[in-house]
Structure 1
Amino acid sequence: MARSSSPRQASRRAVSLTAQCRTQSGLRDRGEISDISASGCCVRVSGLYFRVGARVVIRPQGLEGLTGVVRWVDGDYAGVEFDREIYQPVVDHLVRLHGVTTVVPG
């Protein structure tokens, strides 16, 4: 596991949200966002290989594509820091629609 040691900019909120994921080289796969905040998300993909520092586009169901950088990778999971923060009311809306009741560590 190669997780960043820098502190998070915003608290994560647990969700189960389908997303299209695309690497800088153009490879695509469907993934699932398991937590999200205004500044980033954790996404699980099984058909793509993400590496730390890679540029990606994550397009959650119902939203435009969000560009960002992979900050850590752990198996099929990757932490993505968005280039631009999502408007907090949009995050709150996604949590209302797709929130789960599990506790997200960290």
Structure 2
Amino acid sequence: MVSDRQAERFDISVQGRYRTGSGLPRDVPILEISETGCRFFDKFGRLKAGDELTLRIGTIGPVVATVRWSRDQITGVEFAKPLYGPIFEHIRDKLDCT
């Protein structure tokens, strides 16, 4: 099976918070992360492909992202710019609460 993923993904358990436009911030658990995007659980499940948002990942952010897909309250986003290597490693190694 050929994958079109740009970067390796890592399971993670970090609290995040997103906001779309001038909407209210929503707290979400981030489940998986790569340098180019992440996947999170959104109990409201109202995001759709193409929505733009800003996301805090633990204490990091805001990070600008675009929703690529959303199914069954799980949302996948792509970051506007890949996370800087040391920042990504900090999130993956220090903020992960699993």
8 Å Cα contact 1:13-1:99 kept in structure 2:
no
8 Å Cα contact 1:53-1:71 kept in structure 2:
yes
Q: Deviations over 1:32-74 (max 9, x none)?
A: 1111111100011113511011001111111121111100111
Letter in 1 for 2:43: S
Structure 1 residue ranges without an equivalent (≥5): 1-5, 101-106
Identity in percent:
29
Instruction: Report the counterpart of residue 34 of structure 1 in structure 2.
Output: 31
Structure 2 residue ranges without an equivalent (≥5): none
More strand by share: 2
TM-score when scaled to structure 2? 0.86
Q: Are 1:77 and 2:71 matched, yes or no?
A: no
Instruction: Report the counterpart of residue 52 of structure 1 in structure 2.
Output: 49
Instruction: Report the counterpart of residue 24 of structure 1 in structure 2.
Output: 21
What value does the CA root-mean-square deviation take over the aligned residues?
1.7
Q: Are 1:9 and 2:6 matched, yes or no?
A: yes
Number of aligned residue pairs: give it: 95
TM-score when scaled to structure 1? 0.80
8 Å Cα contact 1:24-1:54 kept in structure 2:
no
Q: CA deviation at 1:20?
A: 0.8
Question: What is the rounded CA distance, in whole Å, between the counterparts of 1:99 and 1:84 in structure 2?
Answer: 25
SS of residue matched to 1:33: strand
